[in-house]
Amino acid sequence: MRRGGHGEALQLRRRRGPARLWVAVLALLAGTLWLCSSSAGLGLGLARSSYGVQDVDVNKLWRTADSNGWRASSAPRTYWPPPPIESESNGYLRVRCNGGLNQQRSAICNAVVAARIMNATLVLPELDTNSFWHDESGFLGIYDVPHFIKTLKYDVRIVMGIPEITTNGKTKKLKAHQIRPPRDAPVTWYTTVALEKMKKYGAIYLTPFSHRLAEDIDDPELQRLRCRVNYHALRFKPHIMKTSSEIVNKLRTEGHFMSIHLRFEMDMLAFAGCIDIFTPQEQKILIKYRKEHFAEKELIYRERRLIGKCPLTPEEVGLILRSMGFDNKTRIYLASGDLFGGKRFMKPFKAMFPRLENHSTVGPGKLEENTRGLAGSAVDYMVCLLSDIFIPTYDGPSNFANNLMGHRLYYGFRTTITPNRKALAPIFMDREEGRNSHFEDRVRQVMFNTHFGGPHKRVHPESFYTNSWPECFCQPNPRNRADKCPPDNIYEVLESQFQSVEGEEDIEEVKSTNQTDSTSQIEELAV
């Protein structure tokens, strides 16, 4: 009996074993499902919480971003010897800056730094205006040349042209040896290859000169020199500043205004490979343009869009602004070329934000005559610089947008709203496919997750011209001693080092040009 009972019990346990195992499995499964549902609920709750940015006051964006105690300063922090006199110069540097206005602007900054590196005399940079703009105005027609030369007199010696030389009783112009510099050339290329040719021939001509000096330079003083050129020495001519001032004053008569760089033009769309939203005929035009101007490469629209490589459409820009809380009374200045695709792309944007202006519509009577070619781009640049809010819709290879973001950062941390196209792409694609749930909340979550033009660490591939922090900034009361602002009389110190220059000039103008408190200064200068 016991054996029998023991055997029955054993069989019962054997039968119960799998049953208990199944119960355990079911319990585990139920617990997992509950945990997943709880996590999902928690995730949804967190998502809803993270989307809960309704309490953000959009009106605060009309003010400048929080500086956290930083202010702009491109003054040298260490001993900065004066440039060489003519007899001590290693030779003459001549450059030809190609591309659009802001690509050329960066090239001018690089040219000054290159001349400083080589202990050379810089010939006033040439602007390749004809091939891009069909505009012959050049450096003399766009920038205030006397101001440019005077502001940089502590840094480089600048002349209007290569001088004539006399040999064997004959006088002739010194001919510059032409070199095609490598893209993003390091400092060592200029101190070796370029300098060797300069000493051999007396002058060198670097062409083309766009992106021909590496942006990452270990010497912070050379980086600060870039800022002195970009934000102090390069001042547009009086008629451009006057036109810009008239536009800004008119826009401000009714309060705040924002500027938008709407990069929805044929060249950028063809470059990006974002053509599927256009008609078959328009697609043919874009494909043809791409084949003629860019390297052959297979580009898939959906893939390009998901990685943030497609420029925002005007409608998408309008939806972003509306989601953030801007209303149809918002005054907007558009800086753009001819939009590709005609009025049908602008129609939805105008319906949401009808108060749109550009330099042709908002200025005085004959304004258009003064705003063609490079001058027109210069006016757009100044108006966008002085606007209360600036929005670049495509900051990829756009020199205009990138330089403006850096300029606004330098001049008082003016608010810049930079859409994260990669993060926004799936939201807009969901909307196009009919999935509109939490659309505005999702957009707001992306758009309010930004620094809005405040000081922030420069992370590759962000350009130095987009963000010169911390090299060109300082703090009056820093935690780190290296961040301390230089003495206010730094330019008096430099003036005392500049004894070799014949004829002292008015230092007061140069000092005021290089003041670190830049916000009010640029407004007085340009408005």
User: pLDDT tens-digit profile of 151-163?
Assistant: 999 999 999 999 8
Percent of the chain with pLDDT over 90: 59
Q: Which of 98-102, 180-184, 191-195, 463-467 is the least confident region?
A: 98-102
Answer whether residue 29 shows pLDDT above 70.
no
The pTM of the full predicted model, rounded to 2 decimals, is 0.82
Identify the CA nearest to 326 among candidates 251, 258, 425, 250: 258
d(CA 78, CA 55): 46
Answer whether residue 489 shows pLDDT above 60.
yes
Amino acid found at 428: F
The reported pLDDT for the residue numbered 509 is 41
User: pLDDT tens digits, residue range 64-77?
Assistant: 999 999 999 999 99
d(CA 360, CA 370): 10
Helix, strand, coil % (nearest 5) of the chain?
A: 50, 10, 40
Helices (H), 371-517: 373-386, 399-410, 421-432, 439-447, 490-497, 507-513
Mean model confidence pLDDT for the chain: 82
* Residues 212, 139, 520: CA angle, nearest 5 degrees: 95
Identify the CA nearest to 110 among candidates 185, 23, 205, 194: 185
Between residues 22 and 362, the one the model is more confident about: 362
Structure tokens of 298?
A: 């297979």
The reported pLDDT for the residue numbered 381 is 95
- Whether the ω angle into residue 208 lies within 30 degrees of 0, i.e. cis, is yes
Answer whether residue 433 shows pLDDT above 80.
yes
Answer whether residue 501 shows pLDDT above 70.
no
The reported pLDDT for the residue numbered 376 is 85
Q: Mean per-residue pLDDT for 505-524? A: 41
The reported pLDDT for the residue numbered 496 is 63
Contacts of 266 (CB under 8 A, 6+ apart): 285, 286, 289, 338, 340
Amino acid found at 124: L
The reported pLDDT for the residue numbered 219 is 96
User: pLDDT tens digits, residue range 296-340?
Assistant: 888 888 999 999 999 999 999 999 999 999 999 999 999 987 889
Between residues 427 and 507, the one the model is more confident about: 427
Q: Mean per-residue pLDDT for 355-368? A: 73
Answer whether residue 43 shows pLDDT above 60.
no
- Residue whose entry in the numeric block shows the structure tokens 């973001």: 405
Answer whether residue 209 shows pLDDT above 70.
yes
d(CA 460, CA 404): 18
d(CA 501, CA 503): 6
Between residues 36 and 189, the one the model is more confident about: 189
Between residues 211 and 502, the one the model is more confident about: 211
d(CA 519, CA 376): 23
- For residue 269, what are the CA distances in angstroms to 287, 299, 462? 10, 12, 21
